[in-house]
Structure 1
Amino acid sequence: MSDVVIRVTRRVLLPLVLLFALMVGLGLLVTRVLARTWPFTVEDTVNRELAGDRTPGWNDVSLVFSTLASTQMIVVVTVLAALVLRLVLHRWREPLFLCAAVTAQALIFLFTTMVIDRNRPAVEHMDASPPTSSFPSGHTSAATALYVGLAVLLALRARSTPAKVGWWALLVLVPVGVALTRMYRGMHHPSDVVASFLNGGACVAIMARTVLDRTLTWGRIRLPLSRSGDDVTPARAPAGG
């Protein structure tokens, strides 16, 4: 087995398998083992309170946040962001990180929903979705991977300024807004969105540890650092070395 395969297995595949197992384990705890234990016994109450507070204005706001995390929007924003990163930075590391994080969370979400069948909250649903795909929240997970991923890149690349802090906070708050609006719209229980923060955040961490690690050597090609910390032309190891 080559060194590259070993590194990919250790740094990406194994952590994702463990994350999937954790998500399934959490799903089983929430839907079966602890279903009649506090605080899971009051989740429906939270959803009913949110549904009871619906107004036309908040309905419009919730639709905006929900749309920001829809499958179509996530794909479009991810592709556009990746293209901009590639054109501006002239390398593939950051675009690959973002695409890998979003893709990984989507796969974990998909396989988890295939194992965990949880009914959506017993309130009026404002969106059309499969009735037993409540755990976890795909919208929240995707928003976490995409917008937190962008926040990580911003924190790593940009100098610390008030504007940077503002943009960073805005990016991080988008998944929070998505989570709240998905509950408001009657599509998910609180535990669904909490688990989704874990899924999206873990995928960002896994891919950052792998793709954004500039000291990592892949096979015989090493990406050295310039004095500024930016990538430079890959240096190949001498033949026979």
Structure 2
Amino acid sequence: MRPHPRLTALFARLEIATLFALVVLAGALWAFVALASEIAEGDLHAFDEAILMALRTAGDPSDPIGGHGVEIAMRDLTALGGVTVITLIASVVVIYLALQRHAASAVFLAGAIIGGSLLSTVAKLAFDRPRPELVPHGVEVVTASFPSGHSMMAAVTYLTLAVMLSRNEHQFRLKVFHFAVAVLMTFLVGASRVYLGVHWPSDVLAGWALGAAWALGVAMVAQTLGRRGRIDPAQGDDA
């Protein structure tokens, strides 16, 4: 008995999507490793220093460009990648999924974000890079610099939330909306860390790369678990 043409096309799309996801995942991991290697050799110091100084008023490293209002806005944005806000937002979405009777998805989401947080902590302890001292810090910091924990956790949390929320959407445009918001939030958090002088730009790039790799891995696992019935399957023809 020959398989139905639509079924054959679906499996072909799944194979292409999986291959593409693996390539992107490998690329993100390669980017992180490459950044770590360059930092260990000191090759990115000039790049990092140039970006940090470009965000400061000429001749006064203590004065960020844009004025006091922009600095306040950046402090607000950087909080979106902090433990308190991340925990609050993730908890709200986990509760929402539970109330929607997607208990397995809620547990999976919580585990994915906690796992990403542990990975960020381990990475910081492993590299133990000092914070920038080139410019004054705009907010208080207590941990190591590489990779940027705020940037990584923003990528882990917001991209993972987009993955899980989009699985329950039937409309493709709403799926795109979830990911567009997640990418924007991740970018703003990372940019704010450099602007406030608490991270080298390479710290943020590494945080984005590792966080995106984690979120993409979560998406692939979720897709597999959904097909096996372990969590709720993705909705819509374009799932």
* Correspondence for 1:94: 105
Unaligned runs of 5+ in 1: 1-17, 217-221, 230-241
Shift of the 172–28 alpha-carbon distance from structure 1 to 2, 3 Å rule, reads closer
Shift of the 167–113 alpha-carbon distance from structure 1 to 2, 3 Å rule, reads closer
**Secondary structure, aligned partner of 1:127:** coil
Q: Report the AA paired with residue 60 of structure 1.
A: I
- For residues 219 and 181 of structure 2, what CA distance do their matches in structure 1 show? 20
* Correspondence for 1:137: 148
* Correspondence for 1:43: 48
Percent identical across equivalent pairs?
A: 24
**Secondary structure, aligned partner of 1:100:** helix
Distance apart, 1:28 and its partner CA:
4.6
* Correspondence for 2:16: none
- For residues 74 and 83 of structure 1, what CA distance do their matches in structure 2 show? 14
Deviations 1:49-94 (A, max 9, x none): 2133141121122112111111111111111110101112x12232
- For residues 85 and 214 of structure 2, what CA distance do their matches in structure 1 show? 19
Unaligned runs of 5+ in 2: 1-25, 58-64
Question: Residue 182 of structure 1 contacts residue 188 of structure 1 at CA under 8 Å; is this kept in 2?
Answer: yes
* Correspondence for 2:11: none
1:124 and 2:124 aligned: no
- For residues 169 and 37 of structure 2, what CA distance do their matches in structure 1 show? 41
Deviations 1:186-237 (A, max 9, x none): 0111111111112211221222222442233xxxxx64989x78xxxxxxxx
Return 42-51 or 76-85, whichever deviates more. Answer: 42-51
Distance apart, 1:103 and its partner CA:
1.4
Question: Residue 138 of structure 2 contacts residue 197 of structure 2 at CA under 8 Å; is this kept in 1?
Answer: yes
| Aligned pairs, number | 200
- For residues 118 and 45 of structure 2, what CA distance do their matches in structure 1 show? 26
Q: Report the AA paired with residue 53 of structure 2.
A: R
Shift of the 208–167 alpha-carbon distance from structure 1 to 2, 3 Å rule, reads closer
TM-score (norm 1): 0.72
TM-score (norm 2): 0.72
1:209 and 2:227 aligned: no
- For residues 150 and 68 of structure 1, what CA distance do their matches in structure 2 show? 14
* Correspondence for 1:158: 169
Distance apart, 1:30 and its partner CA:
3.2
Question: Residue 55 of structure 2 contacts residue 195 of structure 2 at CA under 8 Å; is this kept in 1?
Answer: yes
Distance apart, 1:116 and its partner CA:
1.0
* Correspondence for 2:38: 30
Question: Residue 47 of structure 1 contacts residue 183 of structure 1 at CA under 8 Å; is this kept in 2?
Answer: yes
* Correspondence for 2:208: 197
Distance apart, 1:101 and its partner CA:
2.5
Shift of the 176–224 alpha-carbon distance from structure 1 to 2, 3 Å rule, reads closer
1:174 and 2:179 aligned: no
Return 52-61 or 204-213, whichever deviates more. Answer: 204-213
Shift of the 24–162 alpha-carbon distance from structure 1 to 2, 3 Å rule, reads closer
Shift of the 23–208 alpha-carbon distance from structure 1 to 2, 3 Å rule, reads same
- For residues 111 and 23 of structure 1, what CA distance do their matches in structure 2 show? 18
